[in-house]
Amino acid sequence: MSKTLSCFKAYDVRGRVPDVLNAPLAHALGRAVVEVLGARHVVLGRDARLSGPALRDALADGLRQAGANVTDIGLCGTEEIYYAAANRPFDAGVMITGSHNPADENGFKLVRGGAIPVSGDSGLFALRDRVAELLADDARPPEGDAAPSALHGDSFRAEYVRWLLDYSGAGQSASAPGRRPLKIVADAGNGCAGLVLQGLAKNLPFDFTCLHMEPDGSFPNGVPNPLLPERRAATAAAVREAGADMGIAWDGDFDRCFFYDGDGNFIEGYYCIGLLAQELLRRAPGGKVVHDTRVYWNTREVVLAAGGQPVMGKTGHAFMKERMRAEDAVYGGEMSAHHYFRDFAYCDSGMLPWLLTAALLQRTGRPLAELVAERMDAYPCSGEINRRVQDAPALMRLVHDNYAPQAVHEDSIDGVNLEFADWRFNLRMSNTEPLLRLNVETRGNLPLLEDKTAELLHLLEERGGAVPA
């Protein structure tokens, strides 16, 4: 496969600009969306990356050359494209975003009408093959003959903001007696979250401290990826300084949000799944909740205790959405902070999780740290640990063969997934990067967690040649 076409991943297109992603590829992709998916009316949006406008122009030209009408909603979050595709008569939606990746990268996330994801087997690889043919023919982007037809951004966003407020109930729940308004620190990381937060904040009875709200694709305060420990310090410090009840940070296209408790401590996304599952099951008793394979003991216990039905799904937004649709699940969560909602066309949102959590804090008067502390003690986890490797399949076989004989349960839904009496681990290949990802959890045993994590990393590094990512 050529360097250019290697940017087609399992559920999106992603790569460095301009050596991998560039105007010719974007133009070819636009044509392919029409020719392969049969799209005739396509909605486009982009995050704040500096390469976004040029890629948007080339993509729109390709779409129009192939006969599609194009609506451009401009700077937005991925979930705004989902909302448009689910609620307006579009045949497809394309979000131009590099999400949390470095500033010199960008990408495309694609959905069909109804916000149904386009992944490898459901059209993305067919798009890749058609793009390859078009690039081989040396098709050149023509000069655009007109600007894309526009859907007025402010009025569209206002509609979306109203839906978020109505669904979450965040502005409607009465505070616990005698409690002051919630104090919330919000860090947009110079991505696009601030564009929506502005509309939400003026309709919410909360006291906001806002950081890095201005979209800036040069990312002057660092790449918007709160999973990186070095990107958490500013948010945590602001929470402590403000005496806030909660901190929130988003990645560049705000399809994920990350939580900090009132002491500025970062909360692993794993424990937020259980919290949100309880809230969604309160609304839909007996419903199904889809979780990923990486860590799930806590989620399953919480869901069962709340009267729900836990269902395992494969990691990745396209796979999770597909499983949720098949199960008609009310909610789905990944430990990487992707949260999916049936009432949001089974799509992931970075706005609904914090709004629902704020409504919960407002209603109960309980601190966020208190809501998750018991679960963190019951099922401590390693967090996701990444290692760069030369031969991922061989290394996964090595780990499997070393541990499988002692396992009490094994499945292969997504990588090596082995369970023992008091601990378990998942080792899987990244869908988007040349990495192995390790997650370990135990039943209330922190020393065992530390021992087994170190043991697995030693095997990966000493016998497999893995190096920190």
Predicted pLDDT of residue 11 = 87
Count of CA atoms in the C-beta half-sphere (13 A) of 172: 8
Per-residue model confidence (pLDDT) at position 430: 85
Q: What's the pLDDT tens digit per position in 265-293? A: 999 999 999 999 999 999 999 999 999 99
For 243, the domain range is: 157-267
Domain boundary among 151, 170, 198: 151
The C-alpha atoms of residue 42 and residue 155 are separated, in whole angstroms, by: 19
Count of domains observed in the chain: 4
What is the rounded average pLDDT of the residues 11-23? 95
Active site residues: 99
Are 10 and 137 part of one and the same domain?
yes
Task: Give the whole-angstrom CA distance, residue 363 versus residue 245.
Answer: 13
User: Which amino acid is present at 22?
Assistant: N
Mean pLDDT of 27-54: 97
Among 194, 200, 202, 208, smallest CA distance to 165 is for 200
Say yes or no: 316 and 414 in one domain.
no
Last residue of a domain, one of 267, 290, 316: 267
Confidence of residue 76 (pLDDT cuts 50, 70, 90): very high
- Bridge partners of 246? 184
Strand partners, 440: 425
Query: Rounded to whole angstroms, how far apart are CA atoms 215 and 188?
Result: 8
| Cα three-residue angle 157-161-164, rounded to 5 degrees | 140
> What integer pLDDT is reported at residue 366 of this predicted model?
94
Q: What is the pLDDT of residue 105?
A: 97
- Which CATH number characterizes residue 275's domain? 3.40.120.10
Whether the predicted pLDDT of 144 surpasses 60: no
Q: CA 415 to CA 142: how far, in whole Å? A: 44
Instruction: Say if residues 352 and 339 touch (Cβ distance below 8 Å).
Output: yes
pTM here is: 0.94
Query: Is 228 a member of any domain?
Result: yes
Distances (CA, A) of 21 to 17, 94, 107, 174, 417: 5, 15, 7, 49, 34
C-alpha 134/C-alpha 125 separation (Å) is 14
Per-residue pLDDT, 431: 72
Among 69-73, 97-101, 168-172, 379-383, the range scoring the smallest mean pLDDT is 168-172
- 395-422: per-residue pLDDT in tens? 999 999 999 999 999 998 899 999 999 9
pLDDT in tens, 338-378: 999 999 999 999 999 999 999 999 999 999 999 999 999 99
Residue 205 in any domain: the answer is yes
- Among 151, 173, 196, give the residue marking a domain's end: 151
